[in-house]
Amino acid sequence: MFDPALVKPAIAESFRKLSPRAQLRNPVMFVVWVGSVLTTLLGIQAVYGQGEAPAGFIFAISAWLWFTVLFANFAEALAEGRGKAQAATLRHSRRNVMAKKLDHPRREAEITVIDSASLRRGDLVLIEAGEIVPADAEVLEGVASVDESAITGESAPVIRESGGDFSAITGGTRVLSDWLIARVTANPGEAFLDRMIAMVEGAKRKKTPNEIALTILLVALTLVFLMATVTLLPYSMYGVNAAQSGSPVSITVLVALLVCLIPTTIGGLLSAIGVAGMSRMMQANVIATSGRAVEAAGDVDVLLLDKTGTITLGNRQASAFLPAPGVTESELADVAQMASLADETPEGRSIVVLAKEKFALRGRELHDAHFIHFTAQARMSGVNIGERQIRKGSADAVRSHVEAMGGQYQQGVADLVDQIGRRGGTPLVVADGQRVMGVVELKDIVKGGIKERFAELRVMGIKTVMITGDNRLTAAAIAAEAGVDDFLAEARPEDKLKLIRSHQTEGRLVAMTGDGTNDAPALAQADVAVAMNSGTQAAKEAGNMVDLDSNPTKLIEIVETGKQMLMTRGALTTFSVANDVAKYFAIIPAAFAVTYPQLKVLDVMHLYSPASAILSAVIFNAVVIIALIPLALKGVKYRALGADALLRRNLLIYGLGGLVVPFVGIKLIDVVLGLIGVA
């Protein structure tokens, strides 16, 4: 976080941000900036013997007010610097290369070699092995292996092909094998990588609704304290005239009082918290196309999650051997393993492994064996060993095969098939010639730990909904095992869209992931829509986030990151408002001790002198911003708590801490100032 490569530019940027135009974007810190200018002018006036207070005191106050502004600028600049460092890495992967432009989508078409910066949306390009993809495009013809490590950080290449959900290619990636003909989908400066860089740098970051609302609250508090502070000057003048002694409170002290009472801590860190939220998303390899999406992720009430690859591993695995009447489990396992020896599918491999684990059955050499591979028409696979025919496949296909050979399909096997279906599994019936041996149960395995994650989300008030194309029986079984709150079975694109709208009608915020063109309508409707980087261009354009890792489970991490940003903002706001109370007890008695001696009772800290009390409060007000920068950038530690528990925790830690820490900090600074004789 405090790498010199980031800190040095941030320090320089802190001074550049001192311009009035830059400060006007943050009303609270603009008030501090005006106070700094005013006290500087008062200090210069005091040098020439016309000051309201000693020049040294005024300049000390002025210096620490400038430090307050600089520290707030530094927090924002450091957060932006982290984003710029990430953007520099992305920019390095963006290259201006030569592109092979085609006049029609065929490989034998006429080729014109042009600069990639000259490509426009709709242009056709040919990319061959070893070449850099010149622009964001959609594959029209060909299949190729593509290295996307420059974008995703993953070294393993991916397959890109036409006509499916893996047809989008990103400019700056490299084709490793074969060739592709693609249509350019973005003009120069509008490509995915360009948008990533702009968002990561924070160049186009707009304030989110919650951030705007909090800014309005901070401005309102600032105006209230400003009016209250302004009225103190005539009150003190009246007190002096009435008592015929003492002197009215100085403008320098009033400025110090105003700066210490307005919420400068959260005002100085608010922008840094927002920028850091975007940066944390980038560290998770997620590009948010708007800050609003990051914030919305923290307010999500409903998560729509695909079953395959998100809740389950995605590959059905053999989980049990269920023998037919009169057959032992080991006999069924032996025959099922022989039928699967040449089956390279995940299901076939899992049958071989399960037989080996349960009965120590290992692959054996089968002489005179002819393997029968699975086809969509036959819906069976197996092996012929001489006259012996071993088959495994769907219940209907194996039943027809057995009956055609003169065998009988037992009712007990049919019952087993029905039981597996009700449990949400997939039955594979195994036959040895005319004899049905039993059923192998395949299950789409629920990911380890996913049920606990869903329980945490439930505590936070987030509803999880599983979306699957499976029938209702299968969907219900997997939903129960995974611990989701609800499910949508046999889901079509219009069903997803209808479900999202129904939840939004109830006032809920909905998050979902998708990668295909058919997911685009639902992604466009969702409040937080995470498109997979491996997905289609339509999905990426419909979503407001892109997961570079194309990992559907990332949605849960995205919600947690959004929650963490909101928790951080709430915690620091609580701390900022609470610590104003301590500064009140430090400055008010010191500022008015001469005019109103009765206020001496409020001097609970027994500070060294009025000047020391005021200067100590101003110093603490500046230093606390620097002390809280790590918390603002890293975020408070995420905990899966409900809103009530989270509020109690914030009030206990940051509310009580905001009351106690300033008393201790101001007293320590006062002691040091007293020892060195500054005030």
Residues with catalytic function: 306
Q: Is 273 exposed, middle or buried (0-12, 13-18, 19+ CB in 10 A)?
A: buried
Q: Is 418 annotated as a binding residue?
A: no
Nearest alpha carbon to residue 374 among 386, 392, 390: 392
Dist. CA 145–CA 154, nearest whole Å: 14
Residue 143's DSSP bridge partners are 161
Under DSSP, the state recorded for 654 is I
Contact 78, 7 (CB under 8 A): yes
Dist. CA 461–CA 641, nearest whole Å: 9
Q: Is 123 annotated as a binding residue?
A: no
Q: Is 343 annotated as a binding residue?
A: yes
Q: How far is CA 166 from CA 145, 150, 192, 307, 552, in A?
A: 11, 18, 16, 19, 15
Dist. CA 482–CA 478, nearest whole Å: 6
Q: Is 392 annotated as a binding residue?
A: yes
Dist. CA 295–CA 558, nearest whole Å: 10
Q: What is the dihedral of CA 19, 24, 29, 34, to 10 degrees?
A: 70
Reduce the DSSP state of residue 94 to 3 states and report it: coil
Q: What value, to the nearest 5°, has the Cα angle with vertex 277 and ends 32 and 8? A: 60
Q: How far is CA 87 from CA 77, 79, 95, 262, in A?
A: 15, 13, 14, 35
Q: State the DSSP string of 413-440.
A: HHHHHHHHHHTT-EEEEEEETTEEEEEE
Q: Which helix (H) or strand (E) holds 86?
A: helix 55-93
Find where tokens 């995974």 sit. 482
Q: State the DSSP string of 343-385.
A: --SHHHHHHHHHHHHHH-------TTEEEE---TTT-EEEEEE
What is the spatial order of strands in the sheet that 388-393 belongs to?
A: 312-323, 435-446, 426-432, 388-393, 380-385, 369-372
CA 170 and chain centroid, separation: 21
**Parallel/antiparallel/unpaired status of strands 143-147 and 158-161:** antiparallel
Q: Is 138 annotated as a binding residue?
A: no
Contact 65, 30 (CB under 8 A): no
**Binding site residues for Mg(2+), as ranges?**
515, 519
**Binding site residues for ATP, as ranges?**
343, 347, 392
**Binding site residues, as ranges?**
343, 347, 392, 515, 519
